[in-house]
């Protein structure tokens, strides 16, 4: 079973809900998924003690969180997976995304990562009913 901070990618079939993109890095297009322009104030709560656990938050945030606006380019394009969203259970894992991989494909904290160019090519081909199966 997945739990917060275990560095594991959850197994299962997950819908692709929506995402963020860095407008200074990625040109906005009419993507099939709802994509929000990332702001420096965007974060994602990974603190199970807070009511905003596994939800987007505005920074500053008093609890532990991911910054959506990053300098390492991992979240230049990021899609939120429907893992532990509805319903959200405390300590079962948060911020499980499909995002850009590091150049050396170093492991993520539990997300799925693709080469940035592959993710950019894939996004226009997705549909609202697309699911991602992780084994």
Report which of 20, 35, 8 is spatially closest to residue 112, judged by C-alpha positions.
Answer: 8
Q: In the chain, what are the domain boundaries?
A: 12-134
pLDDT at residue 34 in the model: 96
**Residues pairing with 100 in the sheet:** 114
Q: What is the pLDDT of residues 84-109, one digit of tens each?
A: 999 999 999 999 999 999 999 999 99
Gap between the Cα atoms of 130 and 66, Å rounded: 25
- Give residue for tokens 């990625």: 26
Tokens of 70: 């990053």
Q: Which long-range contacts (CB under 8 A, 24 or more apart) does 110-113 make?
A: 110/2, 110/6, 110/7, 110/8, 110/9, 110/10, 111/9, 112/9, 112/81, 113/74
pLDDT at residue 3 in the model: 95
Q: What is the pLDDT of residues 6-62, one digit of tens each?
A: 999 999 999 999 999 999 999 999 999 999 999 999 999 999 999 999 999 999 999
Task: State the pLDDT confidence band at 128, using cuts at 50, 70 and 90.
Answer: confident
**Region of residue 17 (left: phi > 0; alpha: psi -120 to 50; beta: else):** alpha
């Amino acid at each position: 079973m997945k739990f917060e901070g275990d560095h594991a990618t959850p197994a299962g079939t997950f819908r692709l809900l929506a995402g963020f993109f860095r407008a200074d890095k990625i040109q906005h297009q009419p993507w099939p998924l709802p994509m929000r322009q990332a702001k420096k104030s965007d974060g994602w709560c990974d603190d199970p003690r807070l009511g905003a656990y596994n939800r987007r938050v505005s920074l500053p945030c008093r609890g532990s969180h991911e910054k959506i606006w990053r300098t390492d380019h991992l979240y230049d394009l990021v899609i939120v997976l429907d893992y532990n969203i509805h319903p959200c259970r405390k300590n079962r894992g948060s911020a499980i995304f499909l995002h850009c991989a590091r150049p050396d494909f170093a492991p993520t904290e539990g997300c799925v990562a693709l080469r940035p160019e592959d993710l950019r090519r894939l996004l226009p081909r997705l549909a609202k009913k697309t699911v991602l199966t992780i084994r």
